[in-house]
Amino acid sequence: MYHCLCDDRAGNFQRYHFSFRLQSESPRNNRVRHKRYALIPTSKLYSCLTIIAVEHGAISALAVSADHTTIAGGHDSGHIFTWELNKPSQPFLHIPPLPLDQVEGRKTDGHVEGVSVIHLGFLGTRHTALVSGDDRGMAFSHLATRGLGAVRRVVKTTRILGRYPFDATPAPRPRKPSSVLGFSVLPLGNLQQATDTMGLVALLTPNLLVIVSTTPIAHTQYKAAKPKEVATDSALSGCLAWYPFMKPKQVANGSKLCLNARLVYAWSNILTLLELSVVETEDNDPTRLPVLDFRPKSRFRCDEAIVAVQWINRQVFFVDKRYIDLF
């Protein structure tokens, strides 16, 4: 069973129920079987991905660039590769993990070798700017130089969430294992905004919602703690989704009116709607970061754990309340 939640513009959610099933009937015994769908890459790209997977482990995360010309793959060994679809003979970018014996005395940041990259996303329209998260609760931004001729691209990786497993700083009490339950980059809308160059990414951990701007430097823009009313009698789940800044359909010519971006996020059975706006200031300094305003708008309690959310338009999004086994 799925839910469709509609914001009535007064801070309330109207709920609708619906369900569907993808099925096919076997001509032999008329049994219902689930269909599996997959994207089939070109033969060259498939061959290259197969070789990389053999050398660096299975792919555990995928992302597609805003112009749909570049894909990124994160591996369960910690490696990240990007590929240009029109030049699939070799990777466009390679971001290796930190070897285990170099983590304690590290001079650079990065995923730890052997830790799976489970979240991945491109920032804005760039092919050389990514963010990633792993199954140990760490997240990083990766900004690469453009490169010139034989000069290879240099990737600067910055930690934006989590702690390394071998940090020498003693903790007053043992740390609980963490993870990144939800991960989403603010997509570009149909109207240029100051946030387009900030690389905003929302991350949901077992206890916190964190929104970080990654460029020009990593900076935490917003934090929110897990609500106390979240159900504790079942396994914790988490998910989130952005809806970008958009231009209204009916506006006066030359108007810069823009509908605020929205983030919907959920821990288990509690769902929250957060609205993001850019605060207008009199300071016209182009080097100063925009001032962002985050305001919780609505909260919704479901009778079951929410495991996925997806926007349909600015007022409507779908909520999935259960896991679906594909086989």
Residue 171 lies in a domain: no
For residues 272 and 42, the model is more confident at 272
Residues 73 and 202 reside in one and the same domain: no
Give buried/exposed letters for 258-271 (b at 16+ CB in 10 A, else e). bbbbbbbbbbbbbb
What token pair was written down for 141? 């931004």
> What is the mean pLDDT of the segment spanning 127-131?
93
CA 231 to the chain's CA centroid: 24
Residues 78 and 200 reside in one and the same domain: no
Residues 45 and 23 reside in one and the same domain: no
Decide: 45 and 167 in contact? Cβ < 8 Å.
Answer: no
Range in 28-37, 47-56, 178-187 with the lowest mean pLDDT: 28-37
What token pair was written down for 7? 């914001």
Write the DSSP assignment of 148-159 as a string of letters. Answer: BTTBPP-EEEEE
pLDDT over 50 at 50, yes or no: yes
- Say which residue the tokens 């991350």 belong to: 203
C-alpha–C-alpha distance, residues 1 and 46, integer Å: 36
C-alpha gyration radius of the chain: 21
Backbone angles phi, psi at 33, to 5 degrees: -125, 145
For residues 100 and 209, the model is more confident at 209
C-alpha–C-alpha distance, residues 160 and 70, integer Å: 24
C-alpha–C-alpha distance, residues 142 and 156, integer Å: 6
Residues 121 and 142 reside in one and the same domain: yes
Residue 25 lies in a domain: yes
Decide: 277 and 293 in contact? Cβ < 8 Å.
Answer: yes
Residues 158 and 103 reside in one and the same domain: yes
Range in 2-16, 22-36, 155-169, 260-274 with the lowest mean pLDDT: 22-36
Residues forming beta bridges with residue 277, ordered by sequence position: 293
E strands within 20-99? 24-25, 32-33, 59-64, 70-75, 80-84, 93-95
Residue 115 lies in a domain: yes
Domain boundary residue, one of 165, 197, 221: 165
Residues 114 and 85 reside in one and the same domain: yes
Q: Range of 80's domain?
A: 39-165
Domain boundary residue, one of 165, 191, 225: 165
Range in 36-45, 59-68, 153-162, 212-221 with the lowest mean pLDDT: 36-45
Residues 63 and 148 reside in one and the same domain: yes
Count of structural domains, the chain: 2
pLDDT computed for residue 171 by the predictor? 55
Domain boundary residue, one of 130, 165, 200: 165
Residues 127 and 222 reside in one and the same domain: no
pLDDT over 80 at 96, yes or no: yes
C-alpha–C-alpha distance, residues 169 and 288, integer Å: 34
Residues 236 and 139 reside in one and the same domain: no
CA nearest neighbour of 123 among 212, 248, 41: 212
Residues 230 and 103 reside in one and the same domain: no
Residues 160 and 190 reside in one and the same domain: no
Residues 54 and 152 reside in one and the same domain: yes
